Amino acid sequence: MSENILEVKNLRAYYKVLKGEVKAVDDLTFNVRKGEILGVAGESGCGKSTLANTLISRKPPLHYISGEVRLLGKDIMHMPSEQFRKMRFRNISLIPQYALDAFSPTRRIKQFISDLVRDHGIKADQKFMAKVVDRLRLVNLDESVLDRYSIELSGGMKQRIILTISTILDPEFLIADEITSALDVSSQRYVATMLANFRDEGIIGSAMFITHDLSILYQIADKILIMYAGNLVEIGPTDEIIKNPRHPYTRALIASLPQVGIQYKDHRLEGIEGTPPALLNIGEGCRFRFRCPYMSAKCEGSPALENVSLDHQVSCWYWKEVESDVSA
């Protein structure tokens, strides 16, 4: 078995607000192996981006509560911020959501890049820029883009530049938060594929690909983690999660996906009734229970993460019943 790049154990991170605590990341346990792309999926407000922020930078009101996070064997939750700063960009890199809008409208791409890397203590000298140009070629952009302004570029081109810059120092771990969401379908395919190619070529070690779109994860992720209301509900190999989900939520989510070939006349899809619970001061129990067909008194208690197989874990009291229930 190959080594783990990232190990997360019972991680909790809450937003502390006047009215109490918003439990946006609550008891998450998972690993990311070397060379693996972990897809993280869930609905808006389920804690996907909070998870990314917890790993990279915890700014108030977001607070780390408990649990362990080891990146390359080092405990990054208790590391002095100066020391962690040195790891950022070099060992761990984040492409935040809406990074597309972060370009300065008054700076050329070249200037923007040098401003950015200077912040990390790197000089944008000729050697560095030559590397940038090399990498841009990999995403099919030529060096003329460096002299352009961001408004002259399409969303797909900007996202490719961002992907190039974030990975320029060959980080062992890349967190990509909704990098395909604002793009057209064709650019989506290109950018997502590029990320997987970067992994294949060893430019990045492993990645965490956060999206609300399960069908993109099916294309490029090795493993998928499903979050619901701050909890991890299921994690496992991509094919297992998509073809044979064990958690009632995962199952309902996949069943609600419109796909080419399914038309309302032939097969009526069903969504999930209700909405996710508010996470403010949320108590014990399975958070999906109010929308779940399997709900019983047992669900008032929080289910543990159980092994379906070696790589596949699920957090549900009734996963065995879900498994045998073909009709659901």
Partner 1 sequence: MSVPSSNDSILSVRGLTKVFYSGVFRRQATVAVKDVWFEMKPGTILSLIGESGSGKTTIGKLILKLIQPTSGQIIYKGTDIAHLKNKEQLRDYYRKVQGVFQDPFATFNPLYRVDRIFNMVYSSFGLDQGKKDEQVREVLESVNLDPDRTLGKFPHQLSGGQLQRLLIARTLLMDVDILIADELISMLDASTRIGILNLLVDICKSRGMSILFITHDLNLGYYISDYTLIMYKGRLVEKGDTKKIYENPVHPYTKMLFESVPDIHRKWDRSEEFLPEHVVQEVREFYAANEGRGFEDVEEEHTVLFSDR
Residues found near partner 1 in the complex (CB under 8 A): 43-44, 140, 155-156, 184-190, 192-193, 196-197, 212-216, 218-219, 242, 252-254, 256-264, 268-272, 275
CB-wise, 144 or 264, nearer to partner 1? Answer: 264
CB of 287 to partner 1, least distance (A): 14
| Whole-angstrom distance, CA of residue 257 vs CA of residue 158 | 29
Report in angstroms how near the CB of residue 189 gets to partner 1 at its nearest.
4
Least Å from the CB of residue 288 to partner 1: 11
C-beta of residue 138 within 8 angstroms of C-beta of residue 86? no
- Minimum gap (Å) between residue 188 Cβ and partner 1: 7
Q: Distance between CA 232 and CA 243 in Å, rounded?
A: 19
Report the nearest approach of partner 1 to the CB of residue 90 (Å).
Answer: 28
- Whole-number minimum distance, CB 143 to partner 1, in Å? 16
CB of 178 to partner 1, least distance (A): 13
Whose Cβ is closer to partner 1: residue 242's or residue 286's? Answer: 242
Nearer to partner 1, 92 or 141 (CB): 141
Q: Give the residue with the Cβ less far from partner 1, 109 or 253.
A: 253
**3-state helix/strand/coil string of the chain:** CCCEEEEEEEEEEEEEECCEEEEEEEEEEEEEECCCEEEEECCCCCCHHHHHHHHHCCCCCEEEEEEEEEECCEECCCCCHHHHHHHECCCEEEECCCHHHHCCCCCEHHHHHHHHHHCCCCCCCHHHHHHHHHHHHHCCCCHHHHHCEHHHCCHHHHHHHHHHHHCCCCCCEEEEECCCCCCCHHHHHHHHHHHHHHHHCCCCCEEEEEECCHHHHHHHCCEEEEEECCEEEEEEEHHHHHHCCCCHHHHHHHHCCCCCCCCCCCCCCCCCCCCCCCCECCCCCCCCHHHCCCCCHHHHCCCCCEECCCCCEECCCCHHHHHHCCCC
The smaller minimum CB distance to partner 1, of residues 10 and 256, is found at 256
Question: 66 or 140: whose CB is closer to partner 1?
Answer: 140
Closer CB to partner 1, 125 or 270, in the complex:
270
- Smallest separation, CB 163 to partner 1 (Å): 15
Q: Which of 1/185 has CB closer to partner 1?
A: 185
